[in-house]
Amino acid sequence: MSPAPIRAAFAQAFREAWAGGAGVLLPASFFAGAAMLVPFAVGSDSDQLAAIGGGVLWVALALASLVTMERLFQADLEDGALDLWVQADVPMSAIAAAKVAAHWLVSGLPLALLSPLLGLMLQMEPDRLPPAMLAYGIGGLAFFLWGAFGAALSATVRRGGLLIALIALPFYVPTAIFGAMSLQAEVPMPLIETLFLSAATLFSMAVAPFGIAAALRLATD
């Protein structure tokens, strides 16, 4: 088995994600905008914002991860690249994982790096910001994997953004719950909650690529 198709899929997805800057700017703008609207809706009380800030960022992160999913596999289906990936001498799940990894590096990792600044705006305690950034990075990877699963299932649907959200959001729930629990604990980075969050992400890494591969094979039939 040659790793060349996997590298090619990663490079193609990386270039497509950077094209026009939308891969970074669109989800980051959505993430920041959703977080900055909260003080206008609930008031500017510091204690109240500190209590809900971490959870608000989890919701914003989940929604921002869906913004660029619609074209993740649809473009490959339209230009015939998906047929080549299916016929390649490598598991389709490995190619799917490579494409999601490239997409997360361009669109997902910047969201985690942006979270400390938004956390400060929402009055989160400064000592909780680095652990929170790590938690958002871990959980964000799970969000992108399940979002990609929804994108693969709706690859043949024009303007399937709403369908992607309907498919992916139920899979987001465990990650969001464990992520919020890790921020609500008394210590900045609690062991048990962080392990549960990591387990949810590891489960998505083990299951989602195979689900994506099966969905893409169905799309090419």
**What is the secondary structure of 44-70 as a DSSP string?**
--HHHHHHHHHHHHHHHHHHHTTTT-T
pLDDT at residue 119 in the model: 87
pLDDT band of residue 144 (cuts 50, 70, 90) is very high
pLDDT at residue 207 in the model: 95
- pLDDT above 90 for 202: yes
Contacts of 81 (CB under 8 A, 6+ apart): 12, 75
Question: CA of 177: how far to CAs of 6, 11, 118, 198, in Å?
Answer: 33, 33, 20, 12
- pLDDT above 90 for 140: yes
Q: Which two tokens stand for residue 203?
A: 């489960």
Burial of 157 (0-12, 13-18, 19+ CB in 10 A): middle
- pLDDT above 90 for 44: no
Query: What average pLDDT does range 32-48 have in this prediction?
Result: 80
| Out of 16-25, 83-92, 116-125, 191-200, least confident range | 16-25
pLDDT at residue 86 in the model: 76
CB atoms closer than 10 angstroms to residue 174: 19
- pLDDT above 60 for 20: no
